[in-house]
């Protein structure tokens, strides 16, 4: 009899567990998406250039921004005066360089006022609701009923024309945007399970609001603050253009536009370069803010 062939048992392949991608936080994912965005990167580079220009203004500027040289009035751009001179012979390049300090100051202080007041009002309205919400939001609606620049002009007219009062007015004008964004975010955050758990263990309302609810509203607040800086700089320049903001001889870009109106046809460089500076700074914050908004949106996470 022939021997039966030996059949080896089938080899079972042991599949290796698939490696799961490492989890990362929202902020790391946002930073990764932000770096990959070309428009956001351009905005960030322009913002960094503005900050470096403000820091090293004494080194970069070639002349004293307030020094009057009547013999050098309305000189065209040249190797001596890179961007020309204005009606008082002051170097425009130096004034633009020092004006970057005023722009950063206006943006940060005005947005800081808007953020502090708006976060408090929006957080209280969204968390407590009922009649508190009704009162606060009706006040916000009244503020939003006025065009922002007209409301800022009215506030400065009451407070008096100065750069400080212009920053306060621009800050007040920006409060409704922060209040509405924070309120809408608080309305969704306060219904989450961990907030209900905090209430169940007896945590006080102010502790829940400031330690649990508002910290989870950080992303939209940062985005609004970034976009708000560009708007604040533009509004402050508009007030200075009307003579209600920075007063002479401060090298503020809006005031430089106002001073150069009379020489628009004969010496266009007097208003061209300050206008370009305002355009680039506002564009930079808008590009960076839009990219930051997309980067912090968890729905865009792939």
**Residue-level pLDDT at 102:** 93
Residue 138 has pLDDT above 80, yes or no: yes
The tens digit of pLDDT for each residue in 230-260 reads 999 999 999 999 989 888 888 999 999 988 8
**Residue-level pLDDT at 291:** 81
Higher pLDDT, 225 or 14: 225
**CATH H-level superfamily of 36-62+89-300:** MetI-like (1.10.3720.10)
Q: Look at residues 266, 241, 261 and name the one whose alpha carbon lies nearest to residue 252.
A: 241
**Residue-level pLDDT at 21:** 47
Lowest mean pLDDT among 21-25, 29-33, 274-278, 287-291: 21-25
| Long-range Cβ pairs for the range 119-123 (8 Å, 24+) | 119/178, 119/179, 119/182, 119/214, 119/217, 119/221, 121/175, 121/179, 121/182, 122/178, 122/179, 122/180, 122/181, 122/182, 122/183, 122/186, 123/182, 123/183, 123/186, 123/209, 123/210, 123/213, 123/214, 123/217
The tens digit of pLDDT for each residue in 91-104 reads 999 999 999 999 99
In DSSP notation, 169-232 reads HHHHHTHHHHHHHHHHHHHHHTTSHHHHHHHHTT--HHHHIIIIIGGGGHHHHHHHHHHHHHHH
Residue 23 has pLDDT above 50, yes or no: no
With contact defined as beta carbons under 8 Å apart, do 279 and 234 qualify?
no
**Residue-level pLDDT at 301:** 53
Average of per-residue pLDDT across 83-112: 92
**Residue-level pLDDT at 20:** 46
């Amino acid at each position: 009899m022939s021997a039966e062939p030996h059949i080896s048992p089938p080899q079972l392949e042991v599949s290796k567990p698939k490696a799961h991608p490492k989890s990362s936080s929202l902020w790391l994912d946002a930073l990764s998406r932000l770096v990959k965005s070309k428009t956001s990167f351009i905005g960030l580079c322009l913002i960094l250039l503005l900050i470096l220009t403000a820091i090293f203004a004494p080194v970069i500027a070639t002349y004293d921004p307030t020094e009057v040289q009547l013999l050098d009035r309305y000189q065209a751009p040249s190797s001596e005066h890179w961007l020309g001179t204005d009606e008082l012979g002051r170097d425009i390049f130096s004034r633009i360089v020092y004006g970057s300090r005023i722009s950063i100051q206006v943006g940060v202080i005005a947005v800081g006022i808007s953020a502090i007041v708006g976060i408090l009002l929006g957080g209280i309205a969204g968390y407590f609701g009922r009649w508190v919400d009704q009162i606060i939001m009706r006040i916000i609606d009244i503020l939003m009923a006025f065009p922002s620049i007209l409301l800022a002009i009215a506030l400065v007219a009451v407070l008096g024309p100065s750069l400080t009062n212009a920053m306060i007015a621009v800050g007040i004008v920006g409060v409704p945007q922060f209040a509405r964004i924070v309120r809408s975010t608080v309305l969704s955050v306060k219904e989450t399970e961990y907030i209900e758990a905090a209430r169940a263990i007896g945590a006080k309302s102010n502790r829940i609001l400031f330690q649990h609810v508002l910290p989870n509203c950080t992303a939209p607040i940062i985005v609004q603050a970034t976009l708000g800086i560009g708007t604040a700089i533009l509004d402050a320049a508009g007030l200075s253009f009307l003579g209600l903001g920075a007063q002479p001889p401060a090298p503020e870009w809006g005031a430089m536009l106002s001073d150069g109106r009379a020489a628009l046809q004969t010496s266009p460089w007097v208003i061209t370069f300050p206008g370009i500076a305002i355009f680039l700074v506002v564009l930079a914050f808008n590009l960076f803010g839009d990219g930051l908004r997309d980067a912090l949106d968890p729905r865009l996470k792939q």
